[in-house]
Amino acid sequence: MFYLTLAICFFSSIILTPLVKKLAFKIGATDKPNQRKVHQRIMPRLGGLAIYISFLIGIAIIQPDAKSLLPIMIPNENIHLAIILGSIIIILTGVLDDTKEISPKVKLAGQILASFIVVFLGDLKVEFINLPFGGQLDFGFLSIPITMFWIIGITNAINLIDGLDGLAAGVSTIALFAISGMAYLMGNPYVMILALITAVSSLGFLVFNFHPAKIFMGDTGALFLGYLISVLSLLGFKNVTFISLVIPIIILGVPISDTFFAIIRRLVNKQPLSAPDKSHLHHCLLRLGFSHKQAVLIIYAMSLIFGLVAFIFSQSTVWGSLIVILTLLVAIEIIVEKIGLVREDYKPLLKFMKGFKPINLKDR
């Protein structure tokens, strides 16, 4: 029955997307080209509505199973209701932005309200972590702002990478499959089910969104996918160990890294943090000469690698996991410097590595 549900969600998304495309043109939810954007013609957005409706169809089908799983997997039954209510707020925020282009403050207010619902109605908080070498770190009253910051941060991280055809949808789908796989390993069927339903709904939309795209997901889709990914990652990995806390960060390595270095870039260049630019990961790959499709596929490959590293990390010993993290951080920094993600002349690690000359045994 569950595999049938996934098939229904996938094909529902395929059927709904052309209908949403017509609706987008009818109500004026279109994206006009400008100097910051890659596309050259007016494009319909609002495509995330097809993903969301397909997600709701899947939820409606598995609702009885979800209720039976809640008491086992989640300490508070209200979390299921909180996720749905929060998603409604997020979708309304996205629809408003796709049709009316609301201000960043109003958009942020919608995200804060959605995260507030999840934290307080759903009682979802990162209250503590068990440290790798013993002891426990309690967040106390900071657990609420930390949890809300995670939800809002990941939501915006997915939104920021939505710059090329199929990019946000593909990266989100890969992340959702990785989260579902890790949830399966950790014995959390509720997170696995919701992640898979969302993943196949996004995959169905990707049929129309991959380059050359016929429709954009818009903020409706990017905010929804970011919101759900952030909440599911908290549900699957919170309050266990330091290693479990790091797993979702690795899975979401592409959007998190891109957002982190966007902040660094603006600080280095003395620009406002909210200032738009064309120096995100996908922009850098395009400048290096990769085609639109190649840039997207490269970032897909990066997302898959992050997912694989997360699996290796979860199966490692404490020392092994530290080595994995160190190797990953060095690799990220080298890539950032190679492609000029911060600035063309920002190459501290590469310059440091050039300072080490190989030892020639013949000179001894």
- The residues, ordered by sequence, that sit 6+ positions from 106 with a Cβ below 8 Å of its Cβ are 93, 96
Q: Name which of 307, 61, 58, 305 is nearest 177 in CA terms.
A: 307
How many Å apart are CA 49 and CA 86, to the nearest integer? 15
Q: Do 32 and 42 contact (CB within 8 A), yes or no?
A: yes
Q: Which residues of 129-142 are buried (b: 16+ CB within 10 A; e: fewer)?
A: beeeeeeeeeeeee
Q: Do 46 and 93 contact (CB within 8 A), yes or no?
A: no
Q: How far is CA 270 from the centre of its chain?
A: 27
| Three-class secondary structure of residue 246 per DSSP | helix
At residue 12, φ and ψ (nearest 5 deg) are -60, -40
Identify the sign of the CA torsion 289, 291, 296, 297: negative
Q: Do 182 and 247 contact (CB within 8 A), yes or no?
A: yes
Any known ligand binding at 345? no
Q: Do 107 and 219 contact (CB within 8 A), yes or no?
A: yes
Q: What tokens does 301 get? A: 């490959």
Read off the DSSP letter of residue 168: H
How many Å apart are CA 91 and CA 220, to the nearest integer? 5
Any known ligand binding at 159? yes
Q: Do 263 and 256 contact (CB within 8 A), yes or no?
A: no
Known binding site: residues?
159, 219
Residue ranges for the known binding site for Mg(2+) are 159, 219
